[in-house]
């Protein structure tokens, strides 16, 4: 599947992927898209290391944010200014920092990325303003 054919993702994403050298999806990634990962469908991806699971997660996260807070059910969430949320969970603090840095590339497109690793006490309200949250 060509990256230009991925449904439900922000308009800027296919161009960004192409600039990063990704012109087409690996078979497991294409299968995830065909299974509806960019349309809000649930998915368990059990594929080997370095087979593209993070990109599948990115597609799911960005499509969720793009669909809006209430999904497609109430119409045009983008016009109302509401966005959806995405939560990316990792087992280690170091990995959370790494993924936060990786996902911060999306801030140039107006998305807010936050990280919460449980290593400090916080009331947590600031996370409500984030589009993508990386957590342990």
Convert the pLDDT of each residue in 79-135 to its tens digit. Answer: 445 578 999 999 999 999 999 999 999 999 999 999 988 766 566 677 888 999 999
Res 91: pLDDT: 93
The string of pLDDT tens digits covering residues 25-63 is 999 999 999 999 999 999 998 988 888 999 999 999 999
Residue 106's pLDDT is 94
Position 120 scores a pLDDT of: 61
pLDDT number for residue 119: 63
Share of the chain above pLDDT 70, in %: 85
Kind and range of the H or E element at 113?
strand 113-116
CA-CA distance, 134 to 136, in Å (whole number)? Answer: 7
With 0-12 / 13-18 / 19 or more C-beta atoms within 10 angstroms meaning exposed / middle / buried, residue 108 is exposed
């Amino acid at each position: 599947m060509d990256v230009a054919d991925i449904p439900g993702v922000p308009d800027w994403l296919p161009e960004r992927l192409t600039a990063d050298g990704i012109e087409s999806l690996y078979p497991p990634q294409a299968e995830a898209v065909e299974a509806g990962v960019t349309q809000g469908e649930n998915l368990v991806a059990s594929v080997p290391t370095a087979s593209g699971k993070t990109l599948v997660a990115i597609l799911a996260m960005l499509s969720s944010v793009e669909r809006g807070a209430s999904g497609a059910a109430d119409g045009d969430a983008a016009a109302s200014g509401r966005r959806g949320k995405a939560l990316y969970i990792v087992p280690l603090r170091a990995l959370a920092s790494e993924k936060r840095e990786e996902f911060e590339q999306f801030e140039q497109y107006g998305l807010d990325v936050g990280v919460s690793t449980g290593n400090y006490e916080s009331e947590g309200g600031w996370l409500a303003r984030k589009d993508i949250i990386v957590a342990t």
